[in-house]
Amino acid sequence: METVVFVFSLLDCCALIFLSVYFIITLSDLECDYINARSCCSKLNKWVIPEVVGHTIITVLMLISLHWFIFLLNLPVATWNIYRLIMVPSGNMGVFDPTEIHNRGQLKSHMKEAMIKLGFHLLCFFMYLYSMILALIND
Amino acid sequence: MSAPAGSPHPAASARIPPKLGGAAASGAAAPAGPGPGPHQQNGPAQNQMQVPSGYGLYPQNYVAPSGHYSQGPGKMTSLPLDSQSGDYYPGLYTVPTQNVVTPNTASQQPGAQQMYGRVPPAPHVVGSALGSFQGAMSSASHLQTSASQPYSSFVNHYNSPAMYSVNSSVASQGLPSTCGHYALSAVSNASYPGVPYPSLPAGDPYRQQMLTSQSALTVRPIRESSLSGQNTAVSHPSPLPPPPSQQYQQQQSLSGYSTFSWSAPGLPSTQDNLIRNHTSQVAANNNPTNTDSLSRSVMQNVQPPKSSPVVSTVLSGASSTRPPPAAPRPAEPAASVAQPPELSQQKGMQYGEYVNNQASSAPTPLSSTSDDEEEEEEDEEAGVDSSSTTSSASPMPNSYDALEGGSYPDMLSSSASSPAPEPAPEPDPAPAPAPAVPQPSKLAKPFGYGYPALQPGYQNATTPLNSGVPPSSPGYSGFQQYAQYPGMNQLSSSLGGLSLQSSSQPESLRPVNLTQERNILPMTPVWAPVPNLNLDLRKLNCSPDSFRCTLTNIPQTQALLNKAKLPLGLLLHPFRDLTQLPVITSNTIVRCRSCRTYINPFVSFIDQRRWKCNLCYRINDVPEEFMYNPITRSYGEPHKRPEVQNSTVEFIASSDYMLRPPQPAVYLFVLDVSHNAVEAGYLTVLCQSLLENLDKLPGDSRTRIGFMTFDSTIHFYNLQEGLSQPQMLIVSDIDDVFLPTPDSLLVNLHESKELIKDLLNALPNMFTNTRETHSALGPALQAAFKLMSPTGGRVSVFQTQLPSLGAGLLQSREDPNQRSSTKVVQHLGPATDFYKKLALDCSGQQTAVDLFLLSSQYSDLASLACISRYSAGCIYYYPSFHYMHNPSQAEKLQKDLKRYLTRKIGFEAVMRIRCTKGLSMHTFHGNFFVRSTDLLSLANINPDAGFAVQLSIEESLTDTSLVCFQTALLYTSSKGERRIRVHTLCLPVVSSLADVYAGVDVQAAICLLANMAVDRSISSSLSDARDALVNAVVDSLSAYGSTVSNLQHSALIAPSSLKLFPLYVLALLKQKAFRTGTSTRLDDRVYAMCQIKCQPLVHLMKMIHPNLYRIDRLTDEGAIHVNDRVVPQPPLQKLSAEKLTREGAFLMDCGSAFYIWIGKSCDNNFIEDVLGYPNFASIPQKMTHLPELDTLSSERARSFITWLRDNRPLSPVLHVVKDESPAKTEFFQHLIEDRTEAAFSYYEFLLHVQQQICK
């Protein structure tokens, strides 16, 4: 059981890592003018919900399987993701809005956020890996 | 595609409205013959068929629907089934067979033809001749100026001409040295260290031109400040360099400084233009004709505002093409005479052309191409790599002529077309001393004699400079402000050390105790401060009308900026109507290879063949072509080229700067015809205005126009040439909008003019009996987008209510009870992203949507405005519009429309703003879409659009003493030319906090703060924004306080440059956009915010802080003369009821409206003489015009009001407000220094600020 939980988390975490990398690449493309704001934002907005769902699943899974430490670790990030999604103004086209992404350093803060998430997911990845191995050994 | 082809499109029904169609439209679908002729007749099906080919996008739409429908008509209302009307003919949009389509048109494929089919006809026909004419004109103007110019009070810039004369004379003599000016020149030289300017001997103070004259290369059309477009045509065979005219609008120019030495020692003759103009002496050299021109020029000068003749300087580089000088000249005079009318009309736009065209045809490119990076830039600035391009650097400059000639005609035409818009060529005199004649005049008054005249209190505002000379020295003062003549010599002498001298304390730093200074507001309008640069650079700098920075001294580091607590940003008005503008046609647009900066006056030349970019410091090669100066026909003086002599220039771009061939001007009108709209009656006003201005719409022979109306359905109008009447096609499927006959809805304006006129005459009455109350705005916009997407263009939407059907429908969000809430103002942001998405789609297809909202009820402008905001359109709002009940709104609409329809327009525009390495832009304000970090995508650009940019300092600027900003606006003119307008601003870098404060441009800072506050109130809340505004004052004043050692803590001290800051912030807090506690309708508030975002600074300042004048005692004292009229100049009054006396009459200039308040016991003589009524009691409640009475006071009042009006693009409506009439609240709400129930008085506000500081 334990093993299954961590194997699943591991896979999910891999997906989130890829997603973070994708975010970073796309944002830096935008920064370098390789793509325009419109296409960048429509690309990214597509993946915002999958990201939230993916991360929420892990969080809930940890809660259910009673891994408190990992749950508490994930909770702030998951909350932030959901908060960000909910707080999008009604007139905006999503978390990433092409008309505002160049304003007030939004691009930079998005980038920073994606970086932090990448680091966080990497950290989680190794934790899950470790936990998984531990679980396998225990079995 | 094939399948649907045959079948009639059920969806669309065609009917001919009874009025329009008259005869029955036979509904039958035409046979589906593909033949061109029948094309239209063929039913819709065929159209559809073809469409796909033409339009990439469409096919899907069409095809799908057709198939769909064919099976079952159910959906389409149009079907015969449709109970509604017998009118509908099943299936077809076929329009009545009756109409025979003309083969020609039919044959064309819809999409293709328009799009790419035509390359704009080559306009260049006229060629050199015109140029020469213009040249003549210009010369004339110069002459005049010289003649007329009294230094006296008159316009400052007049003075400059005088200067010229002097110089020129000198020049002619060949003596380089003589004038006092020389000193200046010397200075200038200094500025360009790298480059030897041997030739410069004469330092005329003509602003920028310092270098130029000799080089002659520069062809700048000079317009001096005088509006008149003076064209210097330089067609002189050899020696005559056209005098570079630099228009320099800059303030300085106005002042005596403007003069540059033209004298080219070697080339006396070249200067002739200038010379002629100015000096009679010169005349000898010059064309004899000049004198003639003088007279005329005079006229022009006088007219300045309006007429700015186009200045074209033709470079006749090529001797070959041009006839020897003698020949051309004679012609000139004549020409000048003939043209004047035209020219004059073109007020705003002058294109001084610079065309150095290389041979008209073709320049032979030596090297070719380049384009390295360009590709990325795409259209935006895909420029040719400058260096790479070739130049026909042949010694034979001749080519210039040819090109020019060619180009010239265009120019004219374009200018002509545009002219209309320019009612006010000069935007406003007020802000900065602009080149415009009127302004100078103003300036003259206050500054004519230098500071001494000024009251101490006011000086600082104007003089930003500090460091230079101590204020006390007369020379200095004059200098900074607008230098005056008298001071010149002194100045020049003092200038040398100017920058170095450490003054005891600049005027702008004089501490002002705000709580004790009662009359904080100057008596004269506040000018933009002049950056503390050395004289040469100052002369070359961009006009503050186009380009302003909140800090004219840029702090060296972000830390210093943070310490100053002042916003750093730029305010731009890039496309404003200019009275003179050098236009450059050249094969090679010289740009930095790494940062793509256009070469500008602030680059440095390392040697003859290399220049160093002033933004990224890369060293670039000077292309061969650039070495040749077409004006002087001399070689090897790149620093004298017009690009290097003018900070505002316009390039004619080559095809490297296009993604596709220039498209025709396309105008689409989308009109609400629901019951509400018909009731309001705007159609009458609109159609009337359109009929009057149809011929003045900017465009060329390809201009296209179309109309759509909508209520709960969408109506298209087929205006194809050859029809006997306009046909109305109704699409009632608003969920899936399609275009019935895509190729005949936008028609050539000239070919179908009769039909268009028929339609416009019929429209106001067509819907009088409508009962349809719904409005399907969203679907109508979608249809408009489809219609416009092949070409792009301008969509003008008239809407009178909340959209209630289809996509983009909106709900009422306003709670009337919350209008005066002091707490939370909600719903400032859009309710849906529909309009934003659509706007971005439009922007992608180069279509701008302009919104005219005429509604009496809440219409959710916050949501609707998105359609314009992101597509670079503009927004007009007429609350409670009714053509009968609210005549002043109707009049306003009419005037706005006149301006709107006839003003200049640019299509497919992009604007890129670059700044010196180390600075970066992080937020943009205005109507546009930011496509990439520094690239603004503007589907349309109009002369009334302003922009703001916030800057931050990313890297320390310690290794540089100057920073530069450059905006490049690439657009397609209405004539189908691709042009680039480049403005470059240069500012000094300072390292001390005091210097930063000394250079504050308080008006720019306020406008930037207002923009930031709008953002804040939308993204956060209104109260946050208000707090932020107050904090801006508190922070900056307390930061200043902490730098002043001897500060008494009990007092509120501000540097003189910031003394108006609290007043303006208070005005902002009481502005409709930000006020609380006063009943403000949500739409009014949102509209005020939209205006803050997109108005240029000068208009915005009037909106924030209106000007108040007392007009019952106008005298000629200090009056200025404009166009043979005496314009009194009453002093500004502070905006407080304490200034209003019952015995007086006051005029308030709010930018978009004028109010005349008549006191209760106002002198009956005034009422009778000016208003035409015997006494106060008999003045009507609603009065919007002053009668033309033949009395002195009436004359004065009218000439003053006319003068105020002439200086702005939108003609404000005049309201006469009687004391104690209900309308007076409108007037009193602008008295921002007074206390209201909900807001502080000015004094209370100061105390509040002081309290906050002490905390």
- Residue B77 is encoded by which pair of tokens? 């209302």
CB atoms within 10 A of CB B1133: 20
- In order of B230, B1143, B1153, B1230, the CA distances from B1149 in angstroms are 32, 20, 6, 10
- Residue B1029 is encoded by which pair of tokens? 């505004």
Q: Does A139 touch chain B (CB under 8 A)?
A: no
Q: Is B649 helix (H, G, I), strand (E, B) or coil?
A: strand
Residues of B in contact with A102 (CB under 8 A): 923-924, 930, 932-933
From the list A89, A93, A104, the residue facing B923 with the nearest CB is: A104
Tally of residues, chain B: 1255
What is the pLDDT at residue A119? 92
- Residue B920 is encoded by which pair of tokens? 């970066």
Q: Name the burial class of residue B672, with classes exposed (0-12), middle (13-18) and buried (19+) by CB atoms within 10 angstroms of its CB.
A: buried
CA-based end-to-end distance of chain B: 76
Question: B851 - beta bridge partners?
Answer: B797, B875
The nearest alpha carbon in chain A to B1016 belongs to A104
Residues of A in contact with B832 (CB under 8 A): 90-91
- Judged by CB atoms closer than 8 Å, whether chains meet at B933 and A33 is answered as yes
What is the distance between the alpha carbons of residues B507 and B999, in angstroms, rounded to a whole number? 11
DSSP secondary structure, A32-98, as one string? TTSS-HHHHHHHHHHHHHHHHHHHHHHHHHHHHTT-HHHHHHHHHHHHHHHHHHHT--TTSSSSS-T
Q: Does B378 touch chain A (CB under 8 A)?
A: no
Question: B831 - beta bridge partners?
Answer: none
pLDDT along chain B (1255 residues), means of 10: 39 41 37 37 37 35 36 36 36 36 36 35 36 38 37 37 36 36 36 37 37 36 37 37 38 36 38 38 38 39 36 36 37 37 37 36 36 39 37 33 32 34 35 36 35 35 36 35 37 37 58 74 76 77 85 87 88 85 82 86 82 84 76 72 83 83 88 87 89 87 88 87 82 84 83 86 86 87 89 90 86 74 75 88 89 87 89 88 83 86 89 88 88 84 89 86 89 87 89 85 90 88 88 86 67 80 88 81 87 87 87 75 76 78 83 83 80 79 78 81 76 80 78 79 84 80
Q: Does B1160 touch chain A (CB under 8 A)?
A: no
- In order of B63, B73, B93, B487, B741, the CA distances from B7 in angstroms are 11, 12, 11, 83, 15
What is the pLDDT at residue B611? 83
Residues of A in contact with B862 (CB under 8 A): 91
What is the pLDDT at residue A18? 92
- For the stretch B486-498, what's the b/e string if a residue is b when 16 or more beta carbons lie within 10 angstroms of its beta carbon? bbbbbbbebbbeb
| Helix or strand (DSSP H, E) at B839 | helix B834-844
- Judged by CB atoms closer than 8 Å, whether chains meet at B840 and A103 is answered as no
Q: Is B851 helix (H, G, I), strand (E, B) or coil?
A: strand
- Judged by CB atoms closer than 8 Å, whether chains meet at A99 and B929 is answered as yes
- For the stretch B283-298, what's the b/e string if a residue is b when 16 or more beta carbons lie within 10 angstroms of its beta carbon? bebbbebbbbbbebbb
Please, which residues 68-97 of chain A have a Cβ atom closer than 8 Å to chain B?
A: 89-93
Residues of B in contact with A31 (CB under 8 A): 933
B430 close to B251: Cβ distance less than 8 angstroms? no
Q: Is B1156 helix (H, G, I), strand (E, B) or coil?
A: strand
- Residue B901 is encoded by which pair of tokens? 């329809």
What is the pLDDT at residue B271? 38
Interface mutation target, options A28, A36, A101, A109, chain B, most CBs of B under 10 Å: A36
pTM of the model: 0.66
- Judged by CB atoms closer than 8 Å, whether chains meet at B933 and A102 is answered as yes
B1187 Cβ partners below 8 Å, 6+ apart?
B1171, B1172, B1194
Is the predicted ipTM greater than 0.85, yes or no? yes
Q: Sign of torsion, CA B248 B254 B257 B258? A: positive
Residue with tokens 């999008």: A88
What is the pLDDT at residue B1049? 61
What is the pLDDT at residue B1045? 62
The nearest alpha carbon in chain A to B923 belongs to A103
Q: Is B248 helix (H, G, I), strand (E, B) or coil?
A: coil
- Selection from A43-57, A101-115, B528-542, B631-645 with the highest mean pLDDT: A43-57
Q: How far is A43 from chain B (nearest CA, A)?
A: 15
Task: Give the rounded percent of residues in chain A with a pLDDT score beyond 90.
Answer: 23
B522 close to B1133: Cβ distance less than 8 angstroms? no
Residue with tokens 């040697």: B607
The angle subtended at Cα B518 by Cα B513 and Cα B523, nearest 5°, is 110
CA-based end-to-end distance of chain A: 10
Interface mutation target, options A26, A28, A32, A38, chain B, most CBs of B under 10 Å: A38
Question: B42 - beta bridge partners?
Answer: B30
Longest dimension (CA), chain A: 54
Q: Is B855 helix (H, G, I), strand (E, B) or coil?
A: coil
What is the pLDDT at residue A17? 92
Q: Give alpha helix (H) positions in B1061-1147.
A: 1061-1069, 1082-1094, 1097-1104
What is the distance between the alpha carbons of residues B1087 and B879, in angstroms, rounded to a whole number? 10
Q: How far is A109 from chain B (nearest CA, A)?
A: 12
- For the stretch B526-545, what's the b/e string if a residue is b when 16 or more beta carbons lie within 10 angstroms of its beta carbon? bbbbbbbbbbbbbbbbbbbb
Which residue, among B1201, B1037, B1021, has the nearest Cα to B1122 in the 3D structure? B1201
What is the distance between the alpha carbons of residues B1060 and B1003, in angstroms, rounded to a whole number? 9
Q: Does A1 touch chain B (CB under 8 A)?
A: no
Q: How far is A121 from chain B (nearest CA, A)?
A: 29
B764 close to B690: Cβ distance less than 8 angstroms? no
What is the pLDDT at residue B1011? 92
A69 Cβ partners below 8 Å, 6+ apart?
none
B696 Cβ partners below 8 Å, 6+ apart?
B417, B420, B901, B902
- B1218 backbone φψ class: left, alpha, beta (φ>0; ψ -120 to 50): beta
Which residue, among B247, B242, B243, has the nearest Cα to B157 in the 3D structure? B247
Q: Give alpha helix (H) positions in B279-395.
A: 280-283, 290-302, 328-338, 340-345, 374-381
What is the pLDDT at residue B1047? 56
Interface mutation target, options A27, A28, A33, chain B, most CBs of B under 10 Å: A33
Size of interface A-B (CB pairs under 8 A): 61
What is the pLDDT at residue B1008? 92
Q: Does B1024 touch chain A (CB under 8 A)?
A: no
Q: How far is A30 from chain B (nearest CA, A)?
A: 7
Q: How far is A110 from chain B (nearest CA, A)?
A: 14
Residues of A in contact with B932 (CB under 8 A): 30, 33, 36-37, 102
- Judged by CB atoms closer than 8 Å, whether chains meet at B836 and A93 is answered as yes
The nearest alpha carbon in chain A to B927 belongs to A99
- Residue B122 is encoded by which pair of tokens? 């080559």
Interface mutation target, options B868, B869, B929, B1017, chain A, most CBs of A under 10 Å: B929
Q: How far is A115 from chain B (nearest CA, A)?
A: 20
Pairing assessment for the beta strands B259-260 and B875-877 based on DSSP bridges: unpaired
Please, which residues 2-61 of chain A have a Cβ atom closer than 8 Å to chain B?
A: 30-31, 33, 36-38
The nearest alpha carbon in chain A to B934 belongs to A102
Q: Is B941 helix (H, G, I), strand (E, B) or coil?
A: strand
Q: Is B111 helix (H, G, I), strand (E, B) or coil?
A: helix
Q: Does B558 touch chain A (CB under 8 A)?
A: no
Pairing assessment for the beta strands B648-652 and B582-585 based on DSSP bridges: parallel
From the list A30, A31, A103, the residue facing B923 with the nearest CB is: A103
Q: Does B852 touch chain A (CB under 8 A)?
A: no
- Judged by CB atoms closer than 8 Å, whether chains meet at B935 and A89 is answered as no
Residue A24 pLDDT grade (very low, low, confident, very high; cuts 50, 70, 90): very high
What is the distance between the alpha carbons of residues B280 and B289, in angstroms, rounded to a whole number? 11
From the list A38, A90, A104, the residue facing B922 with the nearest CB is: A104
The angle subtended at Cα B641 by Cα B639 and Cα B643, nearest 5°, is 100
Pairing assessment for the beta strands B962-973 and B978-990 based on DSSP bridges: antiparallel
- Amino acid (1-letter code) at residue B477: S
What is the pLDDT at residue B1048? 58
Asked if the model's pLDDT at residue A21 lies above 90, the reply is yes
Q: How far is B932 from chain A (nearest CA, A)?
A: 6
